[in-house]
Amino acid sequence: MLPSSNRKWDLPSRTSIGSNTKGRAKSSLLAGRHSKRTNVTSQNRRRTLYETNEFTVEDIGTLPVQLAERLAAMKGSENTAGSITPSGWSYIIFKHDLYVWKQGVVEKQTTNLCHQFPLASTSYHYNINLISILPTDADDNVSIIAVSPDGIVRYWPNFMQQATYFEMKIMEVDENTCCFLAVINPFGCILCTKSSKLFLLQPSSVGMKLNLTYQELRKSVGLFAGLSRRISSFFTSSEDSIAQVKSQILDGYQSSKDNCTFYTMGNNRLFTWRISYDGTEKIVDECDLYQMFANGPAKEILSSFNEKDRSNIHFIEMSKYRSGLLILVHITSTVNMVSYEDGLALFRIILRDDVPYDCSIVSTLQLSENAPKQVSTESSLWTLHVSTGATAEFVFITTRDDVYYLFENRIIPVVNLSRYELILGSGAMNGTLLYITSRGAVNALFPKTTSLFTLASSKTENVLNRPALEKSSKYKGGYSSILNDTGGDMPGILRAAFVEYIENDFDTAERICCDIFPAAIGQVLDNSVVEVSRKLIDEPPSADPRWAHSLTPEGTSTTSVIIIHQLEDKLRIHSQYLQFLSNLNLLNRLSVCNMNDQKISTLRVLCEHAEKICAAVALRSLHIKHPDLIDAVIRLIMQDRDVKSSTILTWQDLFYKDVSMINDVLPYLVNYEMEICQSQLKQPDKIGILVDNISFIITEVLQDALICRKNFEAKYIQDSSYQQLEYIPWTASIGLRGARTTFLRQHDMVVERVFDQDIGSQIKDNLFTRLVDLATLILTGYEDQLNSLRFCPDKETRLKEVLESFEKDRCALIRPLLDGKQTIRAATLAEKFYDFESLVRLCEEDKNKDQLQEYMVQFARQGFPQFVFQWYLNRGEYRKLLELHDSQDANLKNFLRCRPNLSWIHDVKIGAFGDASQTLLDLAEKERDLLTRKETFLSLSKLSLLASSDESNTSELAEKLKATNTELDVINYQRALPDKVIQKLFGNSDAMLPLSISDVIEGFVGEQNEDANEYNFKNALDLLDLHRLSNESYEKLRLYIWSNAILRDKWTELQGSDPLDVAQDTIFFKVIQLGYEQGIAPKDFVPTIDELKGSDLLISGGLSSNPKFQFLIQAVYEYILQAC
């Protein structure tokens, strides 16, 4: 049952006013009322109904006439409901009619402009939650969307034009499944169904043309979109647990210029959605509300509930609240299969980057204090309103007949209507609650006090509100006495200042700190702060007489004899100690201190102390569930410490006192586990349960510590580069008894010693969960260490070592989940700790290209796209690489810049034909191994060039085509080499290497071509004309070709009386004759006789000076010159 402390205030007896009273033990018509009725002097003056010190209830008007008449004509208020928006627009549903008007607050309204809108015909009753009012450019006008339970949508673009509307049917909606509609500006509305489908409705109107489009929001998340069963299970909801979307959160909640965030709640889970202007949407976070609520701030409140009573916690409403979320929780009890109302709780969720980060309890209220009340079938009608007034935020809760107001951390029952009057609808605007009654009245509740929500509080007020710390009589003499009695002991003086601070003597505390700890005191302050902190968490409780022999004169931080309360006291007083250091400006002066011969940030030490208290509290809570196990481990620890128990103090007392050594329990738990498992090898079930329990204890204890660390860092250490020191958290310590070593041993224990045994499916599933938790602890510790090393300029080598160890352990921790087909769990870890290889493997195994693309977008900044590219490249899976989603084209193009063999294919795919052509041309120029490959590159380059043709740049295109054709012609000439030459050079034509022009010419006219004829020499000359060579190179090669043509014949041995008859059988003459037949004038391609005589080849061959050769060659030249 909920504590009833919130109800300890005087409630006067109930007075009925013109109506019968309800016979139930609840608040009066107005709780705590001091009725001050005012005389109505004017028709338009608001009438005060009731007034107290906390609030005023006033009658601010009546319903429009047609509504009042409709109400009077109806029998009761069945199937009638309404609502009021924060801007004052109000609406009520009567069967298939919707009435809309603008409700004011300042003056009592006597007339209201109200319009009737006909709803679509359906056999189901309309739900007020399926109506949305959309703002327009005009303040006095709105658009309206109404959805029937079976998915018929009507859209009115103008409040003043009831007859103009657009109607459509959402085909994907089943009968009677629509349950909630909420505005999400500027996108439109979100429609939610009982099966938890979400639809985005987007209305539009251009002139007289109306339209409304819709699309279903995909329930894929970053964890693993391909496995829909995980997400669908999150959204599964029954009639009494329907997924909700609250308009107060959606309306204008833009995370950035590019997207908008909204939240859905269902089946005790909270989902954070992000929708972008480019039309994409996704779930960016999900959390278990029950775990956050029941195992967090409400643990003490719900101590009477067991895990099996999870169904008794109902998260029924949520609203935007103080930069976070406020959840209304309805708590019930079940007796003999009947549910009874137990209480309400307001549960605040703190957001960071739009996702849940932390939580706290705002207030609670016991509903059935005197007599149990059975849960009503209308429990879903609880409505939560949060409204911002002039000075603060106000919270109201309404039902069909009750109104509650949150006042100074208390939920106050304000209004309880009569048996014959109900609340038809309600809403909050400008810090005021408005509600419409079934008698046609519109009432308003005006709060008077805002103390709970005043964000600014002075330093002195913070001190006065703190629980008192028992003050030692040693320091009752004031400032001088403190200095004398401490004897110059710096930690003692600091402790004394803290005591004065707690006792509200802020001036003395401040004077001590300023005088004894001046700004230039150095490391003395750090050491003193750490020493006091350690003593606070290790002190024995003064309230427990068994510890009288161990008490110190400075006092103690605990005042309870119950261990769990002692630990909670230590946590509270340590928090006060941190606030003391902050308020006295000592915290920002802290630097480093020495621990275990290593420098460490003093703030980190303070954080560690706080974490260990949280770990001790968690361990003590688990101690109750596992007494034998934890008792045995504690006994081993204390024996190794050589500490003996007594008849007065137990092992537990001794162990939990020394909070600073609470981490000793971790390795001892694993050692104890190994010993027991070794002795029970033939009992796999018992081994499985034991390993599961110990794994659960380890992870639960450490998770509470990590939550504490996160909160501490958010408040005190916001700069990751703090002190530029390597930070190894105690939860990630190494060594024989280090936490990281212990977690790895436990992980190995589960995988290697338990999984291969017959332990049952349930235990095995539990152990997979434990593996995830253990891996999270290990890798989180690595992340903290790596983050600190990244800011240490002289630790590059150390950073590399730790990073390699992290990646190795990360792989080893996730692999068992992959091997065990625990796809979702593996994906969760891989996403959180950027194990990209595991993510790619998972997507490959499921052939899920869409999920791979989502990851590439989600982890773009972490380099996931480049990892995927390299992963495919290393495995030679080029097709998959090139078939990646089009959105990766730019990334892939950059990645392939240094891989031209693939980049040209990608360029063709994306239509970058010009780039593809140039890449292929470059490949052809660099090709040295195969002529066929070079020819292919050139052909594809030409084809790509033609595909990229641009009429505005024809000259450049023609020039590139000419160059490519020239290269192809060179290849054709090489292929035209005589077969014998090819055989000598390459063995066969298929193995030909690409040759240069000079090499091809050599193949035609050189010694390899023993049977060279005039055609070979003509080919060599033609090939020479293809490339643009310098004049010198060109003439040199041309002379070389003609010289070889002359040397093919023995001119000195030619016989005959006619020199022309003799010369016409030479290769030289035949080449000239062939050129002439092809239309080439000899003078244009034959060197001059002087050039020929000066050829080195002819000179070395002795022909240049041979008279007979000179005679014959002179005759030939005379003939060809005359012939031309």
* pLDDT tens-place string over residues 1018-1045: 999 888 887 767 778 888 888 999 989 9
Q: Mean pLDDT, to the nearest integer, of 926-951?
A: 87
Is-contact 170 151, C-beta < 8 A?
Answer: yes
Selected residue with higher pLDDT from 231 and 791: 791
pLDDT per position as a tens digit, 973-1004: 988 899 888 888 888 888 888 988 888 998 99
Q: Provide the pLDDT for residue 776.
A: 93
Range among 274-288, 705-719, 790-804 with highest mean pLDDT value: 790-804
Handedness of CA 512, 513, 514, 520 (dihedral sign): positive
Is the confidence at residue 57, as pLDDT, over 60? yes
pTM surpassing 0.75? no
Is the confidence at residue 68, as pLDDT, over 90? no
**Mean pLDDT over all residues of the chain?**
79
How confident is residue 309, by pLDDT bands cut at 50, 70 and 90? low
Of 32-46, 491-505, 934-948, the one with minimum mean pLDDT is 32-46
Q: Provide the pLDDT for residue 536.
A: 92
Percent of the chain with pLDDT over 90: 21
Q: Which residues contact 251 (CB under 8 A, 6 or more apart)?
A: 183, 184, 185
Is-contact 382 328, C-beta < 8 A?
Answer: yes
Is-contact 537 612, C-beta < 8 A?
Answer: yes
The CA distance from 190 to 466, in Å, is: 45
Q: Provide the pLDDT for residue 648.
A: 82
How confident is residue 630, by pLDDT bands cut at 50, 70 and 90? very high
pLDDT per position as a tens digit, 829-861: 999 999 999 999 999 988 888 889 889 988 988
The CA distance from 403 to 396, in Å, is: 7
Is-contact 748 695, C-beta < 8 A?
Answer: no
Q: Closest by alpha carbon to 273, among 172, 337, 192?
A: 192
Q: Provide the pLDDT for residue 310.
A: 64
Beta strand 188-193 with 598-601: parallel, antiparallel or unpaired?
unpaired
Q: Provide the pLDDT for residue 238.
A: 31
- Listing DSSP states for 284-321 in one string gives EEEEEHHHHHHTTTTTTTTTT--GGGGGGEEEEEEEEE
Does residue 186 have a cis peptide bond before it, meaning omega lies within 30 degrees of 0?
Answer: yes
Q: Closest by alpha carbon to 120, among 46, 20, 212, 251?
A: 212
Q: Provide the pLDDT for residue 1088.
A: 86
Question: Which residue carries 């002819």 as its tokens?
Answer: 1098
Handedness of CA 25, 31, 36, 40 (dihedral sign): negative
Residue 853 token pair: 């693309």
Determine whether 812 is exposed, middle or buried from the number of CB atoms within 10 Å of its CB (0-12, 13-18, 19+).
middle
Is-contact 324 350, C-beta < 8 A?
Answer: yes
**How many C-beta atoms lie closer than 10 Å to residue 114's C-beta?**
17
How confident is residue 302, by pLDDT bands cut at 50, 70 and 90? low
> CA of 327: how far to CAs of 253, 339, 362, 396, 489, in Å?
17, 21, 10, 12, 50
How confident is residue 80, by pLDDT bands cut at 50, 70 and 90? confident
User: What does the DSSP 8-state code read for residue 30?
Assistant: B
Is the confidence at residue 534, as pLDDT, over 90? yes
Of 323-327, 651-655, 744-748, the one with minimum mean pLDDT is 323-327
Q: Which residues contact 690 (CB under 8 A, 6 or more apart)?
A: 629, 673, 676, 677
Residue 725's SS3 state is coil
How confident is residue 521, by pLDDT bands cut at 50, 70 and 90? low
Beta strand 198-206 with 269-276: parallel, antiparallel or unpaired?
unpaired
Q: Provide the pLDDT for residue 1011.
A: 87
Is-contact 273 184, C-beta < 8 A?
Answer: no
Helical H segments across 584-650, by residue range = 602-625, 627-640
Is the confidence at residue 465, as pLDDT, over 50? no
Q: Mean pLDDT, to the nearest integer, of 171-194?
A: 84
Residue 348's SS3 state is strand
Amino acid at 686: K
Q: Which residues contact 893 (CB under 8 A, 6 or more apart)?
A: 903, 906, 907, 910, 912
Of 157-166, 518-527, 605-614, 959-968, the one with minimum mean pLDDT is 518-527
Residue 260 token pair: 């908008």
Q: Provide the pLDDT for residue 285.
A: 83
How confident is residue 645, by pLDDT bands cut at 50, 70 and 90? confident
Is the confidence at residue 560, as pLDDT, over 80? no
Q: Between 563-583 and 602-625, two packed helices, what is the crossing angle to 10 degrees?
A: 160
Residue 335 token pair: 């007796």
